[in-house]
Structure 1
Amino acid sequence: MTSLLDEFVSVQDPVDMAPQTILLATDLSCRSDRALDRATILATEWGARLVVVHALQEPSGREDLPSWRRRADPRQLAWQRVQQDLRDADKLDVQIVVEREEPAALVLATAERFGCELLVTGAAREETLGRILLGTTVEQLLNKSAAPVLVVKRRPRGPYRDVVVATDFSEGSRRALEVALELLPAAQISLFHAFDVPLRGLMNDPAAASEAWSNEAATASQAFLAATPKVAASRRFIATQCESGPVTSLLAELLETRDIDLVAMGTEGRGYLAGRLLGSVALTLLNTLPVDMLVARRPRA
């Protein structure tokens, strides 16, 4: 039987709730270096095991050549590359998985085999004008992974300190808030909600209507927090911000005014986070916001 003291200790010691196993999906490119650095920071902070996964996609093909003219084994080369990149993480418990398989399938199967509680990956590439493309593999992970997925875009400067959770007051976004509270006990977490004022252009007093909708959204934000038990259990203050307008542009503007480290959101919700798969606006957020993104799926019944 759990005593009141045990319950108090579990609330006061958030390190116990941190993941014990983290998976890093890497293609060994320079774009994956930031994800590697972030995964190393988190594994060190949490004392977690780090599982590094790389999928070989080159054909294996037999080469009937003398031994001194044969190419080195791609699997061995990948192992050596990962070990070299992890040379500063010699105190970590690291497991390296290199297999010739479709990347998303290998990552998901490895995550299930090792019981990984967080998947860390990087964006595929960055275009001009700041657009960041996730890539097919990352999108598949976001749609199929049972564990939260952390998409790393920025070069890590330290632990996450300022975290914004985008919410539409759905159970999907509630899960995102819960995951942020569990993973980042030392971070400042705030709630952000974007709303639209219907038929605003046809109103006699659009400013008054906007204020009324803003007040209603603020009330809904507090109700949302009150209905999330882990908020009370964490004993942390969660600031709320409700703004009228498109969520994509509003969050982009917010990033320009605050030194935000991470934006968290759910994959199942209402409105812009609706649907079993990532919606178009959610993908737009992931592709355009120049900040790390934490995506959490609501556990299925």
Structure 2
Amino acid sequence: MSERISITTEPTAPPLGGLLAATDFSTGAQAAAQRAATLAQELGTPLTVLHVLQHDWMTELATWLGDPQPRQRILADARASLEAVVRALQAQHTVAVDAALVEGHPVRDIDGFARQCQARCVVLGASGRGGALLPLLGTTVERLLRKAAYPVLMVRQAPRRGYHRVLVAVDFSPWTESAVALVDTIAPRADVWLLHAYAVPFEEKLRFAGVDDETIERYRQHSRERALHGLHHLAQQRGWPSTRYQTVLHEGDAAPAIVDEAVQRECDLVVIGKHGTSAAEELLLGSVTKHALAQVPCDVLVSPLRTPA
């Protein structure tokens, strides 16, 4: 008889500072758990797999049926499913895996668990049991990102290896440096493209004011040169050699540029800050970040951290 997996219901029991993979046992969540285990093995860090049973639904079911037995069966099924996930991960990866089963609210309890355990990163699948992709960003992924004080990795593809081709969206906001730094943690051996989308400041107003094309072109060239200098400066701060990264400048909107470049360069990961330069408060999720989460075909890593002012 196989040994029973120990499953905690206390958020302080698993090791601190590891990775946290939230699962609803869907196909998307399975890919996320596999990616989390791959990363945990590469980083030499423990992994906790968390499943949250929605308390309101469980309570309503018991009340409607007038019988607590279905609730106990659901708990037992969830525990068995969680054990199966852990066993599968341990069979394929050399990594310490803990499991936690919590009854509560998915967003609140994933966030609370991550904070209590000081998770280095929370890993989620891009779609849940309904199979919906992100137009339904308004559910668990987006709401968790609004609260997150830790990196969140949204997994779209089942992992075949560690990340090898990474696109980092750079807007020189306070979130940029932390996003670039995450590459060294999550994808230390990957080839990196640093992408910045720029525009001539107030170009429409300049043209309306009668500024000539030659002057506007000088402004455009100045914007490019300043952006290029900034990208190289970010890489140099990380100590990256010139062979580690390439710079990509795009004139125009950042959101479609991120998607196009990720596809064109066959990236397996896009890294982006939680907000952009126009973010008004930390409860908001930047529009470019939302677009990337919804549209890029690969995994997306969102950094919620900002450099001090």
Residues 53, 218 of structure 1: alpha-carbon distance in 2 compared, 3 angstrom cutoff = farther
Rounded Cα–Cα distance in structure 1 between residues aligned with 2:297 and 2:221: 27
What letter corresponds to residue 158 of structure 1 in structure 2?
A: R
8 Å CA contact 2:21–2:32 kept in 1: the answer is yes
Rounded Cα–Cα distance in structure 2 between residues aligned with 1:227 and 1:172: 12
Rounded Cα–Cα distance in structure 2 between residues aligned with 1:295 and 1:102: 22
Offset of residue 121 of structure 1: 0.4
8 Å CA contact 1:20–1:46 kept in 2: the answer is no
Residues 82, 132 of structure 1: alpha-carbon distance in 2 compared, 3 angstrom cutoff = farther
Offset of residue 219 of structure 1: 2.9
Offset of residue 291 of structure 1: 1.6
Structure 1 segment 1-301 matched on structure 2, within 5 A: 20-57=17-54, 58-60=57-59, 61=62, 72-90=72-90, 91-124=94-127, 133-197=136-200, 198-199=203-204, 205=213, 209=216, 213-226=220-233, 230-232=237-239, 234-235=240-241, 237-271=244-278, 275-276=281-282, 277-299=284-306
User: Could you give the per-residue CA deviations for residues 74-104 of structure 1, whole angstroms, max 9, x where no partner exists?
Assistant: 2221121122233332242112111111111
Offset of residue 267 of structure 1: 1.7
8 Å CA contact 1:181–1:230 kept in 2: the answer is no
What letter corresponds to residue 289 of structure 2 in structure 1?
A: A
Rounded Cα–Cα distance in structure 1 between residues aligned with 2:158 and 2:137: 16
Scaled by the length of structure 1, the TM-score of the pair is 0.79
Scaled by the length of structure 2, the TM-score of the pair is 0.78
- Aligned residues: percent identity? 28
Rounded Cα–Cα distance in structure 2 between residues aligned with 1:211 and 1:295: 34
1:7 aligns with none
Instruction: Provide the alpha-carbon RMSD of the alignment.
Output: 3.0
Deviates more, 1:197-206 or 1:167-176: 197-206
Residues 101, 173 of structure 1: alpha-carbon distance in 2 compared, 3 angstrom cutoff = same
Aligned residues: 276
Unaligned runs of 5+ in 2: 1-15
Offset of residue 134 of structure 1: 2.7
Rounded Cα–Cα distance in structure 1 between residues aligned with 2:207 and 2:162: 44
